[in-house]
Amino acid sequence: MRLPVSLPLETASRIVDEALRLGRAEELLPLTVAVLDGGGRMVAMKGEDGSGILRFEIAFGKAWGALGMGISSRLIRDRLSSRPTFQSALATAADGRLIPVPGGVLIRDDAGTTIGAVGISGDTSDKDEYCAILAIHSAGLASEPAGPAPDWRDSSLSDHYP
């Protein structure tokens, strides 16, 4: 007996490969991409050569948090930035798997049903999110958020770290 599939491996693999292609086209830092199905199970994952060893956990946490809250990790960040106590409670409830920064994007089918999520880590969060959104769209699916941050290309790690 076969179990129902919300996000086929072929589709998840296409999303991963396209996200990595976009990262190379934009000359981003090495990326790690994780695709989860609607139940939070890993369907596909790849990490580029040179991607740090924590990048998988971060990518997974972005996708898993988006699924768990039913909104993108960008929206989680925006809604919780002024609510640190609730953000801490969510992190505790999620056993530390919640990563509330952009790069966790919901995957939606034609009916608007969430069928999975993509999490990317490696460059700035806005650049990670850009790759996730465009890769989802290339597979003929919808994303939440529908588009990347308008100034995604201007984001820089030097803005955040000395």
The pLDDT tens digits of the residues spanning 70-124 come to: 999 999 999 988 898 888 888 888 887 889 999 999 999 999 999 999 999 999 9
The H-or-E segment that residue 59 falls in is: helix 55-69
Length of the chain in terms of residues written:
162
106, 75 Cβ separation under 8 angstroms:
no
CA–CA distances in Å: residue 141 to residues 40, 94, 97, 105, 138: 18, 27, 25, 12, 7
How many other C-beta atoms lie within 10 A of the C-beta of residue 52?
A: 14
116: left (phi over 0), alpha (psi -120 to 50) or beta: left
Its pTM stands at 0.93
